[in-house]
Structure 1
Amino acid sequence: MRVTIKKIAEIAGVSVGTASEALNNTGRINTKTAERVLQVADSLNYRPNSMAKALISQKSSTIGFVLDFYQNIRTHMGSAEMLIGAINEASLNNYDMLTTIASKDVNIIDHGLNLFNSKKIDGVLFYGVRPNNVAINKLIEKGVPYVILSGGIWDDRIVTVTLDTVKAAYTLVEYLVKKGHKKIAHISGSDQTYGGIGRKSGYLGALKQYDISEDEGLIVTTSYGVEYGYNAIKELLLKRPDVTAVFCGSDDLAVGACNYLKEINMNIGTDIDIVCISNDKQFVAYTPKLTTIGIDFRKMGRLSTHLLFEWLKNDGIPDKKIVMDYKFLKGDTA
């Protein structure tokens, strides 16, 4: 038999209204009275009806995590780490997490807005938003609580927790320049995402700083994935055998590139240097050990969720940006 608030109130010797105040932890009743009500509820194994509670409060006690089709947990371990961090933070705030992947034909932001408008979620986290997404302005205009993970540090429109990818890319390319390299190529996973744009900007900025001419023939734009890194460096070296170092936009691109270099018996770290960004956990045991930029994706998920809860609890937009630190991790590839 289901335990009701009326039954709890009767046993605790209080009104139904007082019992409800205690169970919802409003802080508006005497502490001893609240403790007595909670003890009775616990002894009866009372469990609140979450659906009824949501109807009354107009809150779902659920937040959404929407991933772009191309940045989902099947292909990118960083996404899985972000999700773990987000779920842990949501749990600490007594919230559930609704996770969904937008299909190729659906705008990721429109997907999140539909969930919000249907009252299924109180706020939403996005990963994989592109800066040219026309729905960003719609999201802002509607006042929907949101945080974009890994957004552009330069985009003043958005609320985001991110890495300064421009600075991180600059750090890697500067390292190569100081090793004496001048023919430094860049294999990019995308020129449309915040991360891809930032990486290319940092790469070009470092070349300019050290008076190395920009050479479009040294930039290859492909997709993220081991197979794309393999094909990209194969194509690159056929056209430009003078390349002595490569900055890859992600660890999986670097692994693909290294796989090809090993096939053609080039000594990685001697004949050619490879650097990358991500420190993806699925490649920690890869040989040779990657020289990369370490990103704490789980922390990014946790901080993004914390920022979203600040918005929800304070009923207003929080500080717009949190920029995370990164670590330069020297391996054997450069």
Structure 2
Amino acid sequence: MNNNKRVGIRDVAKAANVSITTISKALNDYPDVSPKTRKKVKALAKKMGYVPNSYARYMGGIRKKTVALMMSDFKKEDPSGFVFGVLSGLYASCTQNDHSFILLATSLNKQKESSIIEVCRQNNVDALVTMGFRVDDLYVKQMKEIDIPVTMIDMEIEGVKANSIYIDNSLAAYDVVKYLISKGRKNIAMINGSKNAYVSVERYSGYAKALLDAGFSLNKNYIKYCNFDESIAYQNTKDLINDNPEIDAIFCASDLMAIGTCKAINDLGFKVGSDILVFGFDDIPVSQCLFNGISTVKQNPYDMGFEAGKSVNKQLLEPDAKKERIVVPHSLIFRCTA
């Protein structure tokens, strides 16, 4: 072989007359490639002088690919269990594919200190999974320039070549409001999360569409943003009902906020589930117990994390694969509050 030219995986695939995916799987001992093919590919790669790019980083030593979960505004507590569910699923998927896994926490201030590309290079990240970003975050804008595989959980940004893993937040919210309307409710308010959070925008979109499709008008006074916080939701619900006593149902964009909303309704002397219906989102464990059970949208964070791991693994094996949108199913759980 010509020693002046670096032999790439495409060269080996062309010489073997098989796909790049097959070459990569054979070199990494994937069980779905036969031992005979693995042996043949490894012998050919050695003969051609193929050296994986990962060698260069560790002075010629083999290392696993590193998948990073990058989270914005990471909090010590995870009362909803969503983050832990995603972490568990992603870790299981990475382990199954023999990848290393690291967690990178960032914030608005940290995003000003180092670019997302610099952070990934400093941590030898081969593939990135993102979660918890706002649509106007600096790192989201920089993702257009990133040169490694990216999969985004609960977000899709135009112009970014990244796969997306999410439940259809807009449809889920639409389903909730449609159900509340079917129960005869005509003055449906919304306790939403953060104004610029992607999931908040999507859930509001579904809420608004359901009302408009049913012939109702939108009332901006019926919307409160509570940053996914129980105590803020409690106070804002009190204000909402005091200012708009006709409200007969409230859709909350998280179960934590639904708990605050239910407490506020009780403290105002109304009965949750009859005077005012309440529907949450997430199906956190405690939602089954409080107020005889909070009606909610069940999403599957473990499945989202696992699918994200599968997504970046495919991106690593097939760098030229088309952008994918992977929807994880949701379901409505009906309990006593609605």
Give the secondary-structure state (helix, strand or coil) at the position aligned to 1:278.
coil
Cα distance in 1 for partners of 2:112, 2:264 equals 34
Q: Could you say what secondary structure the match of 1:255 adopts?
A: helix
Taking the aligned partners of 1:149 and 1:139, their CA distance within structure 2 comes to: 14
My pick for the range that moved more, 277-286 or 225-234, is 277-286
Helix, strand or coil for the counterpart of 2:172?
Answer: helix
What is aligned with 1:149? 153
Instruction: Give 1:114's aligned residue.
Output: 118
Q: Confirm or deny that 1:262 pairs with 2:254.
A: no
**What is the deviation of 1:264?**
3.1
> Which amino acid in structure 1 is aligned with residue 71 of structure 2?
L
Is the Cα–Cα contact under 8 Å of residues 73 and 105 in structure 2 kept in the other structure? yes
Q: Counterpart in 2 of 1:166? A: 170
Distance 1:72 1:315, change over 3 A: farther
CA contact (8 A) 1:77 1:282 kept: no
Alpha carbons 1:276, 1:290 under 8 Å: kept: yes
Query: Which stretch of structure 1 is more off in the superposition, 286-295 or 113-122?
Result: 113-122
Deviation per CA, 1:165-222: give whole Å up to 9, x if none.
1111010001111111111101111221110001111111011101111111111112
Q: Once the two structures are superposed, what CA deviation does each residue of 1:267-324 show, in whole Å capped at 9, x if it has no partner?
A: 1111110012211234333233111110001000000111001001122344421011
Query: Is 1:224 aligned with 2:228?
Result: yes
Q: Report deviation, 1:231.
A: 1.2
Asked if structure 1 preserves the Cα contact closer than 8 Å seen for 2:116 and 2:139, the reply is no
Q: Give the whole-Å Cα distance in 1 for the aligned partners of 2:331 and 2:202.
A: 17
2:334 — aligned with what? 330
Please tell me the residue identity of whatever aligns with 1:168. A
**Aligned-pair RMSD on alpha carbons?**
3.0
**Deviations 1:33-59, CA, capped at 9 Å, x for gaps:** 9xxxxxxxxxxxxxxxx9998442686
Distance change >3 Å, CA 263–CA 95, structure 1 → 2: same
- Residue 25 of structure 1 and its aligned partner are, at CA, apart by 4.6
* Pairing 1:139–2:143 present: yes
Cα drift, residue 71 of structure 1: 6.4
Counterpart contact for 1:71–1:79, Cα < 8 Å: no
Out of 253-262 and 85-94, give the one that drifted further.
253-262
2:213 is the alignment partner of 1:209: yes
Distance 2:220 2:64 in 1: 50
Distance 2:137 2:296 in 1: 29
* Count of paired positions: 295
Structure 2 residue corresponding to 1:274, chosen from 278, 283, 294: 278
Q: Given the superposition, is the C-alpha separation of residues 294 and 155 from structure 1 closer, same or farther in structure 2, using an over 3 Å criterion? A: farther
Contact conserved, 1:187 with 1:222, CA < 8 A, in 2? yes
Task: Give 1:9's aligned residue.
Answer: none
Rounded Cα–Cα distance in structure 1 between residues aligned with 2:291 and 2:175: 23
For 2:195, the aligned partner's letter is: D
Does residue 204 of structure 2 align to residue 200 of structure 1? Answer: yes
* Partner secondary structure for residue 143 of structure 1: coil
| AA partner of residue 67 (structure 1) | M
- How many angstroms apart in 2 are the aligned matches of 1:230 and 1:190? 15
Task: Work out which of the residue numbers 275, 280, 284 in structure 1 matches 2:288.
Answer: 284
Question: Are the counterparts in 2 of residues 110 and 135 from structure 1 also a CA contact under 8 Å?
Answer: no
CA shift, 1:65, in A, is: 0.8
Alignment-mate amino acid for residue 178 of structure 2: E
- Superposition deviation, residue 149 in structure 1: 0.5
CA distance in 2, matches of 1:194, 1:73: 21
Alignment of 1:175 with 2:199, yes or no, is no
Q: Which residue of 2 aligns with 1:236?
A: 240
Change in CA separation of 1:111 and 1:71 when aligned onto 2, cut-off 3 Å? farther
**CA separation in 2, counterparts of 1:94 and 1:269?**
48
Percent pairwise identity: 21
Equivalent residue for 1:125? 129
Offset of residue 225 of structure 1: 1.8
- Say whether the 8 Å CA contact 1:109–1:129 is kept in structure 2: no
What's 2:192 paired with?
A: 188
CA contact (8 A) 1:60 1:121 kept: no
Over 6 Å off, 4+ runs: 50-53
Q: Which residue of 2 aligns with 1:299?
A: 303
TM-score scaled by length of structure 2? 0.78
Contact 1:185 / 1:247 at 8 angstroms: preserved in 2? Answer: yes
- Inter-CA distance 108–287: structure 2 relative to 1 (3 Å threshold): farther
CA distance in 2, matches of 1:307, 1:57: 26
Match of 1:320 among 294, 308, 324: 324
How far 1:101 moved relative to its partner? 1.7
